[in-house]
Structure 1
């Protein structure tokens, strides 16, 4: 009898490790405050809430249970409950919404790290997915050319991919940070891409590159204005005293007639050293060169209808 009980308990523990879970976290204090309007929400202090959550996650991890994290959005949750006719002031509704996020939302795996380190990554991944969703919708709205029936979204994405390839090849070895910005209502579409290049080999995130190309393609398809900025850090010769400091180079391009055209060094300086909200000048950073963008070869198949 005891042997059977132990075997059953071990089997249940093994099964628990085989079933991963998802935790939806209120990373923002404002979102946490919004959830406090629900009577069944048991927390009243954001810092203590995060500490309890971290303790719970570490306990699960110590037992071999895998957990992914996703962001809990109170406004989206309220809409979700309204659409499905659910009472938002129940733990069952919150659990159902979290399960939905596990399938459709941005997630990051938890492996015992401090939440203070992991939450910024989760916020970034969530923003990337939102940007991709908006850009993909905007790209699909391009439809087909009324004159030649060409799929404008497909053509634009192929052009964006070609432009990114030329950018990476032209930037050369080093660590690069690219940002593409396309006006598309408020807020604008933004995509960031980090690359490490060495001897012609480029190391980059597949999800970041997909989002970057989709945002750029949305601008190309609709012939909207927009821009690309690159910031590159290249290895510098090591001086005898060992005091080498990073030296960055900033370049820029503007979308013109559905293709990125290089900015001059003066235009790059003006764009990079101006506050986007106030229009006031910003002092240039030390050890940063503002350099003209290099030309990107427009493919001959660029849509011209």
Structure 2
């Protein structure tokens, strides 16, 4: 469990009380670091949202500070750590998740040990979010987006491991699945063409297993796919979980309405309810069934958008549903009988 030893220089890291965290690293727990070794990263959890702050204030995590004062103090403390040359790993301090975490591990949520352990919890998927000296107004929305993506990754990773196992055979299968979903993502980007498109995924395991969702902006400029960070990881892991578990669901590619041909390159015809070329945003789709992806018809895309609207998502005005184009198939293995052969 990540520990709570102070960084070099002794004492609690500036802002550890306000931020809800402490220094991490095994060397820190053993009392000191090897001579000449770089300082251990500092892991901190930040109550960005007012609701989380209010839910945790009763535990005395923030002293007498109000939320706005807490955020101002947090920014000062983060900048101080950064200027000392320390690497700071941040995560969002969520009230319900923190309480569940403490309950599961038998920790007192009022204790500094609980805050330190939560801040550096290795079970949250993905590489740590490293503070780069930003102002809090700039940092907060990026940190929240990153946190949501890491949570989606954590949930999907659990499904993936349950489907494949963590033994050597399971690891080989996982590598094959991840290669496949990466090829799918690249094919979607190539088919989308120039512009910034939205890719959404909704799936669940067989027999109505846990619902998984993911979304990522796919931006192509001058024929080059632009980096999209953690959201791409979350999308690929979520799709991998759906594939490996033999899941059901839908993948939609919303074309950039400002891009060429209303969002997709010329040459893809429309057979949808809107008919013709149309002038609204194009949406293509693929159905996930039994862990396999197949192109939807335009009518199926329209129905999926209508189902999304029934679930509370906005229905794109003037949308032009279009059929999905062919995607790479999953490599067959052995004697068949599922997406992993």
Sort the TM-score into its range (normalised by shorter chain).
0.7 to 0.9
Structure showing greater Rg: 1
1:214 alignment partner in structure 2: 237
1:127 alignment partner in structure 2: 148
Contact 1:273 1:284 in 2 (8 A): no
Alignment of 1:101-140 (within 5 A): 101=121, 103-105=122-124, 107-140=128-161
Deviation at 1:42, TM superposition (A): 0.5
Structure with more helix by fraction: 1
2:220 alignment partner in structure 1: 197
2:300 alignment partner in structure 1: 267
CA 165–304 in structure 1, closer or farther in 2 if over 3 Å, else same: farther
TM-score by length of 2: 0.66
Alignment pair present for 1:284 and 2:284:
no
1:52 alignment partner in structure 2: 73
CA 134–80 in structure 1, closer or farther in 2 if over 3 Å, else same: closer
User: RMSD across aligned C-alpha pairs, in angstroms?
Assistant: 3.8
- CA distance, structure 2, for counterparts of residue 37 and residue 81 of structure 1: 15
1:250 alignment partner in structure 2: 283
Structure 2: segments with no counterpart, 5+ residues: 1-8, 10-35, 262-278
2:336 alignment partner in structure 1: 304
| 1:150-175 deviations in Å (ceiling 9; x for gaps) | 96545443432332232222222322
- CA distance, structure 2, for counterparts of residue 131 and residue 143 of structure 1: 18
| 1:17-53 deviations in Å (ceiling 9; x for gaps) | 9565333111222221221222464145222222221
CA 274–47 in structure 1, closer or farther in 2 if over 3 Å, else same: farther
CA 296–35 in structure 1, closer or farther in 2 if over 3 Å, else same: same
Deviation at 1:76, TM superposition (A): 3.7
Contact 2:45 2:115 in 1 (8 A): no
Contact 1:263 1:292 in 2 (8 A): yes
Deviation at 1:247, TM superposition (A): 7.1
Stretch moving more, 217-226 or 39-48: 39-48
Contact 1:254 1:260 in 2 (8 A): yes
1:177 alignment partner in structure 2: 198
| 1:89-130 deviations in Å (ceiling 9; x for gaps) | 2335423433x24x5546433334332332222222222222
Contact 1:181 1:228 in 2 (8 A): yes
2:247 alignment partner in structure 1: 224
- CA distance, structure 2, for counterparts of residue 300 and residue 90 of structure 1: 51
Alignment of 1:9-20 (within 5 A): 20=41
Structure 1: segments with no counterpart, 5+ residues: 1-7, 9-14, 238-245
- CA distance, structure 2, for counterparts of residue 282 and residue 180 of structure 1: 15
TM-score by length of 1: 0.72
Contact 1:194 1:204 in 2 (8 A): no
Deviation at 1:251, TM superposition (A): 1.4
1:11 alignment partner in structure 2: none
Residues paired across the two proteins, number: 276
